[in-house]
A and B are shown apart, each in its own frame.
Chain A
Amino acid sequence: MRTAVVVFPGSNCDRDVARAILDCGLGPVDMVWHDDDDFKSHDGPDLVVLPGGFSYGDYLRSGALAAKSRIMKAVREHADSGGLLLGICNGFQILTEARLLPGTLMPNNNLRFICAPCHVRVERNDTPFTKAFKEGQVVQFPIAHHQGLYFLPPDDLSALESRGQVVFRYAAGGKCADCGDAGEAYSPNGSVNGIAGIINKRGNVLGLMPHPERSTLKNLIRGTDGRIFWQSLGEYFDVWRDKG
């Protein structure tokens, strides 16, 4: 499994996501600069990651400037040819700005940055990104964003839901995690229908606001549920060897 992590000016989770992937034994990881024309690696990457952070300082709108970066042509071609593309947090914002995913991410409904542990329910486990989860499993992925309110007009939203494109939904945590409740009531930022992550129709482009890489490394705060996310990709490419 070869991963390319795109580094935009202002990205700040690029190293973190690379460390998480390497820690799960899923290397190699190439860091690719926003101003490059292509991914350089010989056969191209299996997975392209647009990491979290503040690309271009979040100026204009989160993700708007990065969506016009030189590298985005190669990113789009990679996705068009069926390659896996993952956008986390600011990466998700970039994917919506680039129209690779529908909808938009607006300022949190309390108009503040929120950094907190957060529970999400896995709505589908038939994607390359989620195959190691149990369907309906509630896991803890931390969030850290100012603009994470996912919005789509009602008709488009129903269509998105009916096509099963919602992959992660904010859910009840703590002692209530077992009940599996999820939806807008549990959304920390006001996201419609409690949407935390969506996939494109083809099933190869995933965007999510929570950070699985922030619950991957052991003996840090906020758990290790993110390992199941990377395990999914590892199993998809048949390179998962981590036994705990």
Chain B
Amino acid sequence: MNYRDAGLSDGEYLKIKELLGREPNELETALIGVMWSEHCSYKSTRRLLAKFPQTGKYLVQGPGENAGVVDCHGGWGLAFKVESHNHPSAVAPYQGAATGVGGIIRDILAMGARPAASMDGLFFGMPGQGKSDVLAEGIVEGIAGYGNAVGVPTIGGKTFYDPCFEGNPLVNAFSCGLVRLDKIVSSKTARAGDLAVLLGSKTGRDGIAGASFASKELDEGNRESRGHIQIGDPFEEKLLIECCLDLRDNGLILSMQDMGAAGILSSSSEIAHKSGTGIEIFRERIPLREKMAPWEIFLSESQERMLLIVSTDKYDAVKAMAEHYALECAIVGNITGDGRYRIIEDGACIADLPVGILGDAPAADWPSAVPADLDDRREFGGDMKSADPKADLLKLIGSAHGSCRHEIWVQYDCQVQLRTAAEPGEPVSALRMPESDGIIAFAMEAEPWKCRTDPKVGAMETMAHSVRLLALAGADALGMTNCLNFPSPENPENYYELTQCVEGLAAVCRDLECPVVSGNVSLYNETPRGGIYPTPLVVTAGLVPHYAYFVSGGHAHDGDDIYLVGPSAGSLGSSRWQMLCNGGSLKPRGVTWRFDAALERDFISKALFVSRKADIKKSARVVSGGGLAVALAKEAIYSGVGMDIDLADKNPLEVLFSEGGPRAVYIIPPAASEKFLACWKGYPVTRLGRVGGDSLVVRGFLEIHRDELAGAFFGGVK
């Protein structure tokens, strides 16, 4: 194999020769090529990611481990991470999505945590276009097929449709787990003399060099790259979970690493690199499914494998536990003290590299350029008028962009493990804490349209939106994980958008004191027709100290007062209304709401404060996609009520359909209104009207019967 086939540039190859003081052999070239791929090394983004704030009062483990961990009280830690599986899902939707779920669950398991819940961010091309429906169906079935069988509930997620994802759907798999803080397992704690043990599936020729595959654009040639696709077996993974947790409880694991991208190579070299040791692996000891070349063995991404570091006197107990669960288990190597990564075959050393060379790929700096048409994208363009507000609202809640996702989530087991405290489809997902009355809430957000028209402002709104959802639900943010989905960074305009999005996210994380605990980057999301819009996806996790403080929507009753808290309008720029109703060109235009730290913090503190007043009965909803109109419509649908809204002299279009900013609807019984208003004193609050009748009425603007709203939302509109 020549170095270019291994994915290395001329400059990188020269650097390798310089570091080694010799030419690498063919196997070494292949190993370095994969470890220096974008997917494994984060070479294009490492410096950018350093901008993320990584300290916080709840932070236990920040980036650098298999997943981040925050302290969620009572001696419990919450491990969580989101990771992309975009390229595999584009080529083999069922297996790509299934192994995405399996992979992120093993990341959580590697922290010593019991995987407790999953969520998925899905981005598809428009329904009915190209292969979008086939891909979407396969991806959802893959998530269901794997997640349901492995016994980890899928409690929520996000589904987004835009033509830019046609042929390059995004699958961002999130998982979280619970671990006693004193039982956290690390990948940094291997010691010279310990054994490297491979637990789980035999290694086969599936998913070979998937990491390199994920570091290229998709084209017709590599779209047929089925050899790069991993095959998942949730049954094996379920056994692996139970076995690893039993090993943890019995104190038999010193260190652990899941085997994802670049398989044995990355897991073993990372453990040695992070622990400051060396490692030697004996090729012939690796249990194989079929005859394979050394480079294939080391790069294989066969699923359902873990690398354990075990002290020699504990191995027999580990082996016995593996047998109990009918899992393959083999000592494949030793931790050494010399900082070398060695592969031994029949007594001969066939690769000998400094561990550091594998773990520290040189950073790639790409030129950055402001997109030539950015100013044009920022312009709203069309006129801000609605010919038919009623038709607009039905489109906003009834089209693919806004309709109920029931058909998707009904396929996911959302209840197994008996912790789920919010129905899928609610704005936040929620789990009951073990051994306490607390609730952990999660909010997954992404705003590709808003990031397209202004990457920084859009990313800020994405992050702020996510924290708002938590605050309204009564959850204090503990931390954030993110998946940065972008096209090729080698295009200067794409790289500019990437840097701007990272800066935007980082700024809001700092301002709202929500540290980044883990994350993943997926670049090269392109097809021959073009790149995806910048799509940073964030998942924030927060804690509600008691389930009685958990605030949700759909509890409005006749006679209740309806309030809008926050500015009367956000921005129509890049809103769902702009996309669907303002000419319907499906091109995002105009800048969204600009983040205002002081206003945002005020909203968070007051939303948390009012959530603690359990005696104020409330139904509440953050103003999100589709604006206030959609928030009101959902309250009407889920509560089975009508509403009489009077906007007085305000511009109804802006008030109802604009998005962004710390705005929320609260519906309060009149007897509690005074107390409610006292909680929000000093923050803008507008009384919009009263619950009653059978229709959502905005005086002088629109009137829709709640059954018609529900029909559009649950049944869709063409």
Closest approach, in angstroms, between the C-beta of A14 and any C-beta of chain B? 9
Q: Is B570 an interface residue (CB 8 A)?
A: no
Q: Give Cα A213–Cα B235 distance, bound, in whole angstroms.
A: 23
Partner of A54, one of B235, B422, B547: B235
Say whether A144 faces chain B, with CB atoms less than 8 Å apart: yes
Counting chain A CB atoms within 10 Å of each CB, which of B414, B415, B422 scores highest? B415
Chain B residues with CB under 8 Å of A58's CB are 149, 235
B235 pairs with A10, CB closer than 8 A: yes
**B36 sits at the interface (CB 8 A):** no
Closest to B418 in A: A16
Q: Would A221 and B420 count as touching, CB distance under 8 A?
A: yes
Contacting residues, chain B, for A57 (C-beta < 8 A): 149, 233-236, 238
Instruction: Give chain A residues whose Cβ lies under 8 Å from the Cβ of B422.
Output: 221
Complex alpha-carbon distance, A222 and B414, angstroms: 11
If A54-B149, A220-B421 touch, whether A144 touches B235 (CB-CB below 8 Å) is no
Report Cα–Cα, A146/B324, bound state, in Å.
28
B222 contacts A by Cβ under 8 Å:
no
Least CB distance, B85 to chain A, in whole angstroms: 20
The residue on B at minimum CB distance from A54 is B149
For window 51-93 of A, CB contacts with B under 8 Å fall at: 53-54, 56-59
Q: Does A164 contact B (CB under 8 A)?
A: no
Question: Distance (Å) between the CB of A56 and the closest chain B CB?
Answer: 7
Instruction: Name the CB-closest residue of A to B145.
Output: A113
Give the residues in chain A near B418, CB-CB below 8 Å: 16, 19-20, 213-214, 217, 220
Among candidates B151, B324, B410, residue contacting A12 with C-beta atoms closer than 8 Å: B151
Complex interface: chain A residues within 8 A of B14 (CB): none
* A144 B325 Cβ-Cβ under 8 A: no
User: Looking at the complex, which one of B235, B412, B415, B423 makes contact with A59 (CB distance below 8 Å)?
Assistant: B235
Q: Is the CB of B410 within 8 A of A115?
A: yes
Report B-chain residues with C-beta under 8 Å of the C-beta of A220.
Answer: 415, 418-421, 432
> Interface range on chain A: under 10, 10 to 19, 20 to 34, or 35 or more?
20 to 34
Complex interface: chain A residues within 8 A of B149 (CB): 10, 12, 54, 57-58
Is A142 part of the contact surface with B, judged by Cβ < 8 Å?
Answer: yes
Shortest CB–CB separation between residue B674 and chain A, in angstroms? 29
Docked Cα-Cα span, A53 to B145, in Å, equals 12
Bound together, the chains give a CA A59 to CA B233 distance in angstroms of 11
| A88 shortest CB reach to chain B, Å | 12
The residue in chain B whose Cβ has the minimal distance to the Cβ of A15 is: B417
Q: Does A116 contact B (CB under 8 A)?
A: yes
Q: Given A10-B149, A221-B421, A221-B423, are A115 and B238 also a contact pair (CB < 8 Å)? A: no
Contact with B along A78-115 (1 / 0, CB 8 A): 00000000000000000000000000000000001111
Q: Mark B405-434, 1 if CB is under 8 A from A, else 0.
A: 000011111111111111100000000100
Contact of A56 among B235, B410, B415 (CB under 8 A): B235
- B417 touching A16, Cβ below 8 Å: yes
Among residues of A, the one whose C-beta sits closest to the C-beta of B144 is: A113
Selected from A13, A20, A53, A219, the residue in CB contact (under 8 A) with B421 is: A219
A35, chain B: closest CB distance, angstroms: 8
CA distance A54 to B237 in the complex (A): 12
Contact mask A217-242 → B, CB, 8 Å, 1/0? 10111100000000000000000000
Q: Which residues of A contact B417 (CB under 8 A)?
A: 15-16
Q: Which of B148, B410, B411, B547 contacts A219 (CB 8 A)?
A: B547
Does B326 touch A at the CB level, under 8 Å? yes
Given known A-B contacts A219-B421, A221-B421, A16 and B416 have beta carbons under 8 A apart:
yes
Q: Is the CB of A10 within 8 A of B238?
A: yes
Bound complex: CA A214 to CA B144 (Å): 19
Task: Find out whether the CB atom of A13 lies under 8 angstroms from the CB atom of B416.
Answer: yes
Chain A residues within 8 Å of B321, by CB: none
The interface residues of chain A lying within 8 Å CB-to-CB of B423 are 221
Asked if A53 and B411 sit within 8 Å, CB to CB, the answer is no
What residues on B are CB-neighbors of A28 within 8 Å?
A: none
Q: Report B-chain residues with C-beta under 8 Å of the C-beta of A59.
A: 235
Q: With CB as the reference atom, state the residue of chain B lying closest to A222.
A: B415
Say whether A9 faces chain B, with CB atoms less than 8 Å apart.
yes
Q: A16-B418, A54-B148, A220-B432 are in contact. Are A9 and B238 (CB under 8 A)?
A: yes
A20 to B415: give the CA distance in the assembly, Å.
13
A146 proximity list for chain B (CB < 8 A): 148
- Can you name the residue of chain A whose Cβ is closest to the Cβ of B547? A219
A217 partner residues in chain B, CB cutoff 8 A: 418
Fill in one digit per residue for A1-32: 1 if any B CB lies within 8 Å of its CB, else 0: 00000000110110110011000000000000
Q: Which residues of A contact B416 (CB under 8 A)?
A: 12-13, 16, 144
Residue of B nearest to A13 (CB): B416
Interface residues of B in 118-167 (CB under 8 A from A): 141, 144-145, 148-151
Contacting pair A113 B411 (CB below 8 A): yes
A144 touches B421 (CB 8 A): no
B239 interfacial contact with A, CB 8 Å: yes
Which A-chain residue is minimally distant from B325 (CB atoms)? A9
Residue of A nearest to B432 (CB): A220
A54 contacts B410, C-beta separation under 8 Å? no
Most A CB contacts (10 A, CB to CB) among B150, B409, B422 go to B150
**Separation of A19 and B422 alpha carbons in the complex (Å):** 20
User: Using Cβ atoms and an 8 Å threshold, which residues of chain A touch B419?
Assistant: 220
> In the complex, are the beta carbons of A219 and B235 less than 8 A apart?
no
Kindly state the separation between the CA atoms of A17 and B485 in the bound complex, as whole angstroms: 40
A158 to B209, CA, bound (A): 58
A10 and B148 alpha carbons, distance in the complex (Å)? 11
Give bound CA distance, A113 to B148, whole Å: 9
- Taking a contact as CB atoms under 8 Å apart, the answer to whether B235 and A115 are in contact is no
Measured between beta carbons, the chain A residues less than 8 angstroms from B325 are 9
Residues on the B chain within 8 Å of A144, using CB: 148, 413, 415-416
Whether A219 lies near B415 (C-beta < 8 A) is no
Residue of B nearest to A12 (CB): B151
Residues of A with C-beta under 8 A to B326? 9
- Least distance between A150 CB and chain B CB atoms (Å): 20
**Chain B: CB-nearest residue to A52:** B416
Write the nearest CB–CB distance from B112 to chain A, whole angstroms: 18
Chain B positions 284 through 318: 1 when the CB is less than 8 Å from some CB of chain A, otherwise 0: 00000000000000000000000000000000000
Nearest chain B CB to A66 CB, angstrom units:
12
Render B232-265 as a binary contact track against A, CB cut-off 8 A, 1 for contact: 0111101100000000000000000000000000
Given A9-B235, A54-B235, A115 and B411 contact (CB-CB distance below 8 Å) = yes
A188-221 CB contact bits vs B (8 Å, 1 = yes)? Answer: 0000000000000000000000010110010111
Nearest opposing residue in chain B for A19, CB measure: B418
Please report the C-alpha to C-alpha distance between residue A13 and residue B420 in the assembled complex, in whole angstroms.
14
Question: Smallest distance from the beta carbon of B235 to chain A beta carbons, Å?
Answer: 3
Do A112 and B432 contact each other (CB < 8 Å), given the known contacts A10-B149, A58-B149?
Answer: no
Contact among B234, B411, B432 for A114, CB-based, below 8 A: B411
Knowing A9-B326, A10-B238, A219-B547, the reply to whether A113 touches B413 (Cβ < 8 A) is yes
**How far apart sit A116 and B410, CA to CA, in the bound complex (Å)?**
6
Interface hits, B471-497 → A, CB 8 Å: none
User: Is B144 in contact with A54, judged by CB distance below 8 angstroms?
Assistant: no
Cα distance A84–B148 when bound, in Å?
28
CA distance A23 to B547 in the complex (A): 18
23 A–B contacts, CB within 8 A, in A order: A9-B235, A10-B149, A10-B239, A12-B149, A13-B416, A16-B418, A20-B418, A33-B324, A53-B151, A54-B148, A54-B149, A57-B234, A57-B235, A113-B148, A113-B411, A115-B415, A146-B148, A211-B415, A217-B418, A219-B421, A220-B418, A220-B420, A221-B423
Known: A57-B149, A58-B149, A214-B415. 5 other contacts (CB 8 A): A9-B235, A54-B149, A112-B410, A112-B411, A220-B418
A-B complex: 5 closest residue pairs judged by Cβ atoms:
A57-B235, A12-B151, A54-B149, A16-B418, A144-B413
